[in-house]
Structure 1
Amino acid sequence: MSELRKSLGTLQLLAFGVAGVVGASWIYTNSTFFAAYGAGGVILGLCLGVALAACVALAYARLAQAFPRAGGEVVFSFAALGRGPSFFTGWMLLGAYVSSLAFYVTAFGYLLGRFIPALDTLQLYTINGETVYLPGLAIGVALTFAFFALNWFGISVGAQVQILMFALIILGGLALIVTGFTVGSPENFFPAFAPDASPLLDTLRFVVPGMTFLAGFGLVAVLAEDAKISPRKIGLTVVWTVIVAGSFYVLVLLATAWVQPWEEVAAMKLGTVDAFRAAGFPALSTVAYGIAVLGLLTSFLGLFVASSRILVAMGRADLLPRRLAAVDERTGTPRTALVFTLVITLGLGWLGPGAVTWFLDTGGIYLGVVWIMVVIANLRLPASRVPRSLPATVLSVVGAVGALAVIVLALWPGTGSSLVWPSEYLILLVWFVLGTILYAVSRRTDPQTSLRALLGHDLPDGEIPARRAATAESNSGETR
């Protein structure tokens, strides 16, 4: 089976990881967060969220080093747990990524429309309170095709574009951070909580949304087969992705509360964008807006590429149709998977940000499940295959417990992080049912054959701990 072309160096892989994590909305919605949790709750809660994500990243790093193959989590769970858990993991991951991609189709036009009123004309329809306008939708569709074209002839071109946007985001963030701490005052930040607030409770309440800020760091592992660096460096890049992205979030948000009293920022409409304008820095206000635009573009590009690699892995293992694993011999790109990603992105993207928000909220549950599955896979594989230390193992379990908390808080009504009834619960149910049907009708192949296709080589007997369980599952599937 053809392999993906190895084109990504360390910096390019880090750019896909960090820029794929740093999204758009946080830069202008932090005023809402400040109002709800206080600046202290946002900053401290985010720090805890970053810590938990870093714990999970330790498990990712070990597994990515052992299995530097396309699909990341799909490969990990198949090697450790077998066919069924692998499909479940891949399906959850695909649901999370596709939800974000669909959102980006109209989110870019929506973001531009906040500053270019002419884009909010030619109304098409309204879903869940959000109106979709023709200019914004057209921009999103054109952007989707542009990212598709960037990757049609290889990932290297898209990687160069990603690096450029990544560099601009970092430089813009540094300008905000340096200015905020230089001209701002700690009196703008302290006291960090509202007088009638509970600091501990507000901090803990923001851990859940804080963890979702870090969603996407796993795409480093998903793109491992595209990397031309050593497996060890791939693993380290996963951890550095969380550290760099998390630090960027914390410092920019802290600078926002430093340059202008956070209570005033909480009453503003566009968070950091308005805060720096009110502090007398209109140019930096534009920079903050530019970070939001670039963050959306980089996340869009990163998840578009990553989604195609998940499809490749699931195709290789016959979890989805085998043709999705096809790789063009000349360019080394998975063109069939790219076409499928394009179709499903546009197929859902037309719904607009109002409806797709339902998918985004359920996406947090999907990612929580994936994180837990990765930690379980890390524990299940023998140390001879995935070397690990006791502290790293304990920390990864802590991260999995945090992910489980995210899922419970989302599913349990009335927590403040609960899914919207009934729409989001129905979407979650439909995605599970659709996955169950696809798994039931998927082609049953010998688990060893599927695993060899995933790993790209033959493995000696006894090296795969899930071998016996996977074979038993295959046999039981045939008797059914």
Structure 2
Amino acid sequence: MAELKKSLGVFQLLAFGVAGVVGSSWIYTNSTLFDSYGSGGVVFGLAIGVLLATCVALAYSELTTAFPRAGGEVVYSYTSMGRGPAFFTGWMLLGAYVSSLAFYVTAFGYLLGNFFPVFNTIPLYTINGETVYLPVLLVGVVLTVLFFALNWFGIEVGAQVQLALFVAIIVIGAALVVVGFTTGSPDNFFPAYHPENSAIADTLRFVVPSMTFLAGFGLVAVLAEDARISARKIGRTVVITVLGAGGFYCLVLAATAWVHPWEEIAAMDLGTVSAFDAAGFPLLGIGAYLIAFLGLLTSFLGLFVASSRILVAMGRANLLPAQLAAIHPKRRIPHISLIFTAAVTLGLGWLGPGAVVWFLDTGGVYLGIVWCMVVIAKYLLPRRYPELERPYVSRLWFLPAVGAIGALLVIVWAIVPGTGASLVWPAEYIILGVWMVLGIVLYAVSRAKPRTEALRALLGDSYEHLHRHEVEAQRRESE
């Protein structure tokens, strides 16, 4: 079985992880968050959410060090639980990633439309109250083709682009934080809650939605086979990704409420952008908007790459057509999966944000399920393979379970009506149901691969490590 080319170093992998997590809309929509939860609810609730996500990341770290293979979550589920759970995990992950990719097709053009009115001309059609304009759609198509081309010639090309964008985000974010805290005042941040609300209640209310801010840290595990660093370093990078992205969110949001009174920001239109502009730093306001652009690009590129690796893993185990696992003999890229990812992205992206938001909102449910499956795999693996040597095992063994509770809350928060983040009835519940049914149908018609053969394809060299006693016995018999 052909292997992917190992091209990613620590910084490239970290760039895919952190920059893939840091999205775009949070930087200019935090006015609404301040209005709902207060500055304290947002910053402190997010900090708790980061800790819960880190608990889940510990499970990822353990499993990634044991199995540094493409499509991480699919590999973990298949190894510890079998074919059905592996398909379920991969299908949920694809649902989350593809939904985001489809949204990004038109999102960048709509952001540009805030500065250049020409992008909001030549209307094509309207879906769910949102009109799709020709220039917006063309920008999305060009971006998709560009990201496809970057990866077609090897992930190292896309990785360098991702790293450059990541550095730009960090530099601008650092400027916002330094200026915000050095020129602002604690009187702008405190009191940090609405006087009529409970501080504890507002903080806890934001914990669950804050965890969705961190969706995407699994990119590191998905891209593990592309990394040229040790498995132990890959595992550490997963945790660093969560802490790095979460710290970035907290610092920028806190600086926003520090540089200008958060009660006034809550009444503004563009969150951090408006706050720094009102505080007398219009260039930093533009810089905040630039973070939105860069964050969208990095998330788009990261999820594009990751989706193709999930398809590779599912193809290797015959969970989806085996052709998806094909690796180009010269460039050692998953060329079929890349073509399929681009086709699906464009196939859904043309619907525009009015329709794609229905898909996007269900992503929180999918990711919550995936996180739970990874934590379950972490606890089942040593029982199924008690002699397995794991390079890294968390001493605080119970922490991933705590993170799984947070993941379950994300699922409940979205599915149960009336939570404030519930799915939209009936469209989003229908989409969730259709995705589940489609998965069941695809699983039912797929041809099962013998477990040993599937594990060898999924694990590569890791298979002999996992079954070393079995392999040694076979060698002795052959001798």
TM-score range normalised by the length of the shorter chain: over 0.9
Residue of structure 2 equivalent to 1:422: 426
Partner amino acid, structure 2, of 1:327: I
1:150 partnered with 2:150? yes
SS at match of 1:381: helix
Provide, for residues 131-164 of structure 1, a one-character-per-residue CA deviation record: whole Å limited to 9, x for no partner.
2111111101100000000000100000000000
Provide, for residues 296-340 of structure 1, a one-character-per-residue CA deviation record: whole Å limited to 9, x for no partner.
000000000000000000000000000000000100100000000
1:396 partnered with 2:418? no
Q: Give the whole-Å Cα distance in 2 for the aligned partners of 1:461 and 1:186.
A: 55
Partner amino acid, structure 2, of 1:126: T
Partner amino acid, structure 1, of 2:458: L
Residue of structure 1 equivalent to 2:378: 378
8 Å Cα contact 2:62/2:394 also seen in 1: no
Q: Give the whole-Å Cα distance in 1 for the aligned partners of 2:400 and 2:299.
A: 25
Residue of structure 1 equivalent to 2:438: 434
Residue of structure 1 equivalent to 2:458: 454
SS at match of 1:216: coil
8 Å Cα contact 1:220/1:238 also seen in 2: yes
Write out aligned runs for 1:303-314 (5 A): 303-314=303-314
Residue of structure 1 equivalent to 2:474: none
Residue of structure 2 equivalent to 1:349: 349
Q: CA deviation at 1:409?
A: 1.7
8 Å Cα contact 1:128/1:354 also seen in 2: yes
Q: Give the whole-Å Cα distance in 2 for the aligned partners of 1:459 and 1:307.
A: 23
Provide, for residues 355-410 of structure 1, a one-character-per-residue CA deviation record: whole Å limited to 9, x for no partner.
11111110000000000000000000116434665653211000001100111121
Residue of structure 1 equivalent to 2:178: 178
Residue of structure 2 equivalent to 1:472: none
Q: CA deviation at 1:462?
A: 8.1
8 Å Cα contact 1:74/1:87 also seen in 2: yes
- Structure 1 consecutive aligned stretches of length 4 or more whose deviation exceeds 3 Å: 386-392, 457-465
8 Å Cα contact 1:119/1:136 also seen in 2: yes
Residue of structure 2 equivalent to 1:203: 203
Residues 258 and 156 of structure 1, relative CA distance in 2, 3 Å threshold: same
Write out aligned runs for 1:4-403 (5 A): 4-382=4-382, 384-385=387-388, 386=390, 391-403=395-407
Q: CA deviation at 1:115?
A: 1.9
Q: CA deviation at 1:457?
A: 3.6
8 Å Cα contact 1:58/1:392 also seen in 2: no
Provide, for residues 169-219 of structure 1, a one-character-per-residue CA deviation record: whole Å limited to 9, x for no partner.
000000000000000000000010111112111111111220000000001
Q: Give the whole-Å Cα distance in 2 for the aligned partners of 1:171 and 1:387.
A: 34
Q: Please, which moves more after superposition, 96-105 or 125-134?
A: 125-134
Which consecutive residues of structure 1, in runs of 5 or more, have no partner in the other structure? Answer: 466-480
- RMSD, aligned α-carbons: 1.4
Provide, for residues 1-25 of structure 1, a one-character-per-residue CA deviation record: whole Å limited to 9, x for no partner.
1110000000000000000000000
8 Å Cα contact 2:62/2:393 also seen in 1: no
Q: Give the whole-Å Cα distance in 1 for the aligned partners of 2:466 and 2:272.
A: 55
Which consecutive residues of structure 2, in runs of 5 or more, have no partner in the other structure? Answer: 470-479
Q: CA deviation at 1:418?
A: 1.0
Q: CA deviation at 1:459?
A: 3.7
Q: Give the whole-Å Cα distance in 1 for the aligned partners of 2:420 and 2:365.
A: 15
8 Å Cα contact 2:232/2:392 also seen in 1: no
- State the TM-score, normalized to the length of structure 1: 0.95
SS at match of 1:126: strand
Partner amino acid, structure 1, of 2:274: D
Residue of structure 1 equivalent to 2:472: none
Q: Give the whole-Å Cα distance in 2 for the aligned partners of 1:302 and 1:462.
A: 30
Q: Give the whole-Å Cα distance in 1 for the aligned partners of 2:323 and 2:417.
A: 41
State the identity %: 69
Residue of structure 2 equivalent to 1:469: none
SS at match of 2:396: helix
SS at match of 1:23: coil
Q: CA deviation at 1:101?
A: 0.2
Partner amino acid, structure 1, of 2:68: P
8 Å Cα contact 1:90/1:314 also seen in 2: yes
Residues 458 and 244 of structure 1, relative CA distance in 2, 3 Å threshold: closer
Q: CA deviation at 1:129?
A: 2.0
Q: Give the whole-Å Cα distance in 1 for the aligned partners of 2:311 and 2:118.
A: 38
SS at match of 2:42: helix
